[in-house]
Amino acid sequence: MLWGVLLVPVALYCAAGAGLWLFQRNLIYPGAHGIVKGRREPPPGVESIAVRTADGETLAALWRAPAPGCGLVVSFHGNASVPAMHAERFLGGPWAAHGWGFLAVAYRGYPGSTGRPSESGLIADGRAAVAEAGRRAPGSPVLLHGHSLGTAVAVAVAAERPHLGLYLEAPFDSMVAMARLRFPLMPSLLLRDTFRSDARIRAVTGPIVIVHGDADPVIPTQFGRRLAHAAPTGTRFAVVAGDHVSLLGREDSAAEALFRARVPAGCIAG
C-alpha cells in the first residue's frame, strides 16, 4: 500500500511531463492551432503577398512599399496573433508621416501559411521576410520589430542579418525562463524550443529599444528588464503603462525618431 501511495504522484508527474513534451508546441504556438486574437483582415493600403522560405514553405504576408529612400519595418507578431494586428499601426502615425514601408509574415503553420512552427522554422521565416524586403525595396534600411514571441524571432534575425535597429515590445529573455515561470516543477530539458534571446542579443549591433508594460500578465516586466541587461550597452529600456497588448505603440513617436535618424539622407516622404 505504501508503494502504491508513493507511485501515484510519481506516475502523475511523469504523465504531466509526457503531456508537456508531446503538446508543448500547442502551448507555444496557439495561433497555429486555431487560437488567434485580434484583427485578421488586412487594413486598406496594404497588399497581401506570399513569401517563400529557403526550406520550401509559403508564408502569407502583408506588404506596403516605403517612400523613395525611406526605411522599412519588418514586423514579427506574437504567438496568438497575425500580421494584420500590427499593419494598421505601422501604416499610420509617425511611421506613415515619414515614409516607412511595412512587411510582416504569418509564421509557418499560422493562418494562410504552410508548414509547422518550431524555433528553427520561425527563424527561417524571419530570414525569408528580410530577404523579401530586400528584393521588393532594394537599399531600404530595415528596422526589425517584434512583439511577444516575435521579439525572439527579431532578435535571432538581428544577430545575423544587417539591419537599421531593433524595436522590441513585451519581450522575454528566453523560453526556458518562461517555462520555469509557468511550469516550475518540470525540468527545462523537456523544452524543445528554447529561444535564447539573452544569448543572441549580445551579437546585435545598432540601436535597440525595448518597451514593456507595467501590468503585463503574460510576460512580466522582469523578463524584458533581464533581456535589456543582457543587451549591448546603450540599449533603451522603457516601462510604460499597459498590459501585454495595450502597451503597443506607446513609444512609437520616440522610437520612430530614433531610428529615422539612422536612415541615410534622401528619404522623400509625404
Per-residue model confidence as pLDDT tens digits over 17-76? 454 555 678 889 998 887 777 666 788 889 999 999 999 999 999 999 999 999 999 999
Q: What integer pLDDT is reported at residue 8 of this predicted model?
A: 47
Query: What gap in Å lies between CA 10 and CA 181, rounded to an integer?
Result: 22
What is the chain's mean pLDDT, rounded? 90
d(CA 267, CA 99): 7
Burial of 263 (0-12, 13-18, 19+ CB in 10 A): buried
In angstroms, rounded to a whole number, what is the distance separating the alpha carbons of residues 174 and 195?
5
List Cα–Cα distances, 58 to 49, 76, 110, 144, in angstroms: 10, 16, 11, 21
What is the second-level CATH architecture of the domain 2-260? Answer: 3-Layer(aba) Sandwich (3.40)
> CA–CA distance from 136 to each of 45, 57, 131, 261, 269 (Å)?
16, 19, 9, 23, 18
Over residues 155-212, the pLDDT tens digits come to 999 999 999 999 999 999 999 999 998 877 666 667 899 999 999 999 999 999 999 9
CA atoms within 13 A on the CB side of 224: 33
Instruction: Quote the CA–CA distance of 98 and 69 in Å, as a whole number.
Output: 11
Share of the chain above pLDDT 70, in %: 88
Give me 67's grid cell: 517612400
